Structure 1
Amino acid sequence: MKSAAQTADSTSLFGEHTDEAECRRFQAAAEIAGRKWTALILLAGVRGAERFSEYRALAEGISDRVLSVRLKELEQEGLILREVTPTTPVQVRYRLTEAGSELIEVLHPLVRWGSKWRDA
Structure 2
Amino acid sequence: MGEEMQRPPLCNKVEHSYQLIGKKWIGLIIHSLLEEPKRFSEIHAYIPDLSKRVLNERIKELEESGIILRNVIADRPVRIEYSLTRKGNELGKALKAVESWAEKWL
* Same fold flag (TM > 0.5): yes
Q: Which has the higher contact order (CA 8 A, sep 6+)?
A: 2
Partner Cα separation in structure 2 for residue 110 and residue 55 of structure 1? 21
Partner Cα separation in structure 2 for residue 32 and residue 92 of structure 1? 24
Partner Cα separation in structure 2 for residue 55 and residue 85 of structure 1? 17
Corresponding residue of 2:77: 89
Answer yes or no: is 1:38 the counterpart of 2:26. Answer: yes
Counterpart mapping for 1:66-77 below 5 A: 66-77=54-65
Partner Cα separation in structure 2 for residue 34 and residue 42 of structure 1? 12
Answer yes or no: is 1:102 the counterpart of 2:90. Answer: yes
Q: Give 1:76 deviation, angstroms.
A: 0.5
Q: AA paired with 1:35?
A: K
Which piece of structure 1 moves more, 102-111 or 75-84?
Answer: 102-111
Partner Cα separation in structure 1 for residue 93 and residue 71 of structure 2? 23
Runs of 4+ in 1 over 4 A off after TM superposition: none
Q: Deviations over 1:2-44 (max 9, x none)?
A: xxxxxxxxxxxxxxxxx62110010011111111111110111
SS at match of 2:33: helix
Corresponding residue of 2:50: 62
Identity percentage of aligned residues:
37
Equivalent of 2:39 in 37, 46, 51:
51
Corresponding residue of 1:20: 8
Q: Give 1:84 deviation, angstroms.
A: 1.7
Q: Deviations over 1:66-120 (max 9, x none)?
A: 11111111000001000123454332111111111111111222233344443xx
What stretches of structure 2 of length at least 5 have no aligned partner? 1-6
